[in-house]
Structure 1
Amino acid sequence: MSVELVEVVRSGFRECVHRGSLIVLDPQGEVVVSLGEVHTPIYPRSSNKPLQA
């Protein structure tokens, strides 16, 4: 299940919400922060291009 990660407010009104999952690892690979369903497989597509180059 995704969670609300970002909320956009314009002129005091909630304009939109971006949902997703997030995980932050330390240099040893241990979980520092985990939000949402981080074990669900995904297809990263274009977000991997900097790593593929």
Structure 2
Amino acid sequence: MAVSREKQSLDLVLVHERGYSNHPADGPTMKGVTQRVYDGYRKRKGLALPV
């Protein structure tokens, strides 16, 4: 079965964007998504921000 281009791309990205990191330039990041971006998403959706 052929692997989709999306799956191949995701596999390549996840090699570098795994798990949790807290780089001074980015702040808290999980799987390539910064806390700031995640909080903005939740706010736009009307969801409570994590404590």
Do both share a fold (TM > 0.5)?
no
TM-score (norm 1): 0.26
Which structure shows the higher helix fraction?
Answer: 2
Higher relative contact order (CA 8 A, sep 6+): 1
TM-score (norm 2): 0.26
